[in-house]
């Protein structure tokens, strides 16, 4: 099964000196530092190959908070809906709806995104809808089931996927089971659906388990078989609408056994459905091939902000942090992460950057060139700002004269480069040059082609010598085949400059990376005619 593990270490020997490399770092063996304590312990699922059938490494996601995206059906608006563009509050509504998401598809397509991730759309009385009232109904302020089926088919017609946010840990206090227990107390057939400490139910001072002690979000009792089955039936029902997967809210609050059954339920309906969990730290326990495909990669986001924005870590430290995840996860999970720079739970990335567009562009380019599916939070592409929630949930601006076109053009270019270069989506990843200051670079290879992406967060321009023979050695071809290579065509993907080199007379080329800038080059090798 999944439980057998291999344990191993590396030993590097140079002359009379030797050093061990463990899962943390190189170390000298001694009483304080036993070999066993430093060994890599790797479960066997780790070596499963990537299933090429799945679609998400090729996808760019676009995350939408429905109430704030587009109001295309004003007839659904309740009396208290505020004018579009009103300042976001924890409890206000501005009238975004599902018809608006459908109306926004051409914009999303023009941006270069190919998958939607929607914040909750099931019936709920809050603007965020993380407290579900009815799991089987679309919230009437967002539309009806026909609006949703229309959105799904329109997205699919446009070659786009769609995943829904699901909240299985807690419900609203208006959820039928909680309402019944509140009314009938211990006599309610649903008294066991929550963890009530006593009756009658007291919402002012919750006498039941709830999420973060918020009385309006009572925690379901997943140990109750009826609750367990009910939640699986929710997944089964929405998969019937041909959605392409789920994003799971606070999944660490639920047992692994539930997620194993959840996966079986979803994959039975569609083996290619994407399951992504909201785990903010190390997700390896959920990424063993039997629960989630990937997680929201907040860890990567934090590392990139530390390096590009705060400049509090050097390139070598960034490399160590990124390497930890690459070593710690099976390849299939590493290529399935949802790589985001912001979400409805973080301040807007432009605000985090303090308006520093160099840092912003470097981070966007980074996630577009790195393994995993990049995710764009609605409005980031036009320069929306915003602090912590609810300020990060401002209304989308549809008046193009108010867009930051420098940012929009950059996002469009970055998505186009990812979408048109398979190396950046499915290629192998290798760290390349990385120093103790501001230079971090990596290589992606796919077939005989190679990409070199270099990032410079220092205040001086850098010139990097790229050697053709070395770059070729990263590719899938045997190193000795380099003697048959005649030409190398080098393209700077962002400036679109291209040059063809004769590798016999030119051993390599110089990459220039501007201060607080980056460069991504594609190198294609041509063999001499036999």
Residues with a catalytic annotation lie at 249, 278
The residue among 86, 61, 66 whose CA lies nearest residue 76 is 66
Q: Are 169 and 210 in contact (CB under 8 A)?
A: no
What are the backbone dihedrals phi and psi of residue 294, each rounded to the nearest 5 degrees, phi first?
-150, 180
- Please name the helix (run of DSSP H) or strand (run of DSSP E) that holds residue 111, with its range, or none: helix 98-111
Q: Distances in Å between the alpha carbon of 418 and those of 23, 104, 272, 342? A: 31, 22, 22, 19
Cβ density class 37-51: b for 16+ within 10 Å, e for less: ebbbebbebbeeeee
Cβ density class 294-323: b for 16+ within 10 Å, e for less: bbbbbbbbebbbebbbeeebbbebbbbbbe
Token reading at 34: 């036993």
SS3 state of residue 140:
coil
* 479: Cα separation from own chain's centroid: 35
Q: Are 72 and 103 in contact (CB under 8 A)?
A: yes
Q: How far apart are CA 347 and CA 389, in angstroms?
A: 7
Token reading at 223: 């140990």
By residue count, the chain amounts to 530
Q: Are 418 and 374 in contact (CB under 8 A)?
A: yes
Q: How far apart are CA 134 and CA 136, in angstroms?
A: 6
State the virtual CA torsion across 238, 244, 245, 247 in degrees, nearest 10: -100
Q: Are 482 and 471 in contact (CB under 8 A)?
A: no
Q: How far apart are CA 349 and CA 461, in angstroms?
A: 25
Token reading at 40: 């890599």
Q: How far apart are CA 148 and CA 416, in angstroms?
A: 28
């Amino acid at each position: 099964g999944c439980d057998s593990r291999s344990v191993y270490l590396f030993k590097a020997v140079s002359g009379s000196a030797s050093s061990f490399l463990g899962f943390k770092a190189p170390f000298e063996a001694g009483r304080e530092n036993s070999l066993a304590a430093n060994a890599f312990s790797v479960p066997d699922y780790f070596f499963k190959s990537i299933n090429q059938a799945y679609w998400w490494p090729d996808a760019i996601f676009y995350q939408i908070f429905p109430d704030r995206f587009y109001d295309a059906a004003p007839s659904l608006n309740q009396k208290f809906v505020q004018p579009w563009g009103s300042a976001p509050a924890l409890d206000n509504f501005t009238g975004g709806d599902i018809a608006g998401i459908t109306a926004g598809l051409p914009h999303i397509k023009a941006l270069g995104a190919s998958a939607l991730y929607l914040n909750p759309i099931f019936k709920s009385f809050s603007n965020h809808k993380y407290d579900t009232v009815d799991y089987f109904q679309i919230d009437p302020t967002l539309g009806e089931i026909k609006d949703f089926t229309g959105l799904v088919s329109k997205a699919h017609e446009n070659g786009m996927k769609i995943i829904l946010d699901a909240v299985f840990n807690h419900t609203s206090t208006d959820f039928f089971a909680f309402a019944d227990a509140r009314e009938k107390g211990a006599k309610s057939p649903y008294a066991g659906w929550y963890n009530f400490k006593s009756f009658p139910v007291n919402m002012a001072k919750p006498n039941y388990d709830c999420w973060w002690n918020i009385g309006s979000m009572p925690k379901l009792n997943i140990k109750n078989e009826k609750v367990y089955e009910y939640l699986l039936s929710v997944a089964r029902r929405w998969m019937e609408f041909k959605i392409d997967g789920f994003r799971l809210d606070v999944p660490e609050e639920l047992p692994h056994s539930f997620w194993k059954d959840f996966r079986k339920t979803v994959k039975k309906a569609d083996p290619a459905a994407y399951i992504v969990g909201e785990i903010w730290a190390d997700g390896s326990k959920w990424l063993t091939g039997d629960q989630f495909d990937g997680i929201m990669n907040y860890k990567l986001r934090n590392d990139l902000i530390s390096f590009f924005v705060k400049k509090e870590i050097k390139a070598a430290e960034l490399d160590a942090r990124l390497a930890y995840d690459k070593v710690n996860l099976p390849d299939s999970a590493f290529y399935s992460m949802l790589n985001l720079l912001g979400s409805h739970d973080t301040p807007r990335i432009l605000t985090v950057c303090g308006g520093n567009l160099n840092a912003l562009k470097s981070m966007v380019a980074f996630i577009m060139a790195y393994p995993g599916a990049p995710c764009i939070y609605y409005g980031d592409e036009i320069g929306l700002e915003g602090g912590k929630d609810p300020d990060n949930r401002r209304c989308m601006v549809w008046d193009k004269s108010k867009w930051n076109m420098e940012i929009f053009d950059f996002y469009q270019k970055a998505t186009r480069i990812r979408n048109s270069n398979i190396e950046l989506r499915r290629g192998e990843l290798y760290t390349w040059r990385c120093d103790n200051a501001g230079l971090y670079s990596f290589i992606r290879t796919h077939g005989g082609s190679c990409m070199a992406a270099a990032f410079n967060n220092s205040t001086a321009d850098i010139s990097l010598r790229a050697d053709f023979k070395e770059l070729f050695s990263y590719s899938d071809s045997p190193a000795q085949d380099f003697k048959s290579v005649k030409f190398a065509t080098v393209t700077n993907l962002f400036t679109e400059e291209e040059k063809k080199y004769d590798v016999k007379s030119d051993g390599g080329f110089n990459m220039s990376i501007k201060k607080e800038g980056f460069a991504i080059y594609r190198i294609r090798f041509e063999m001499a005619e036999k």
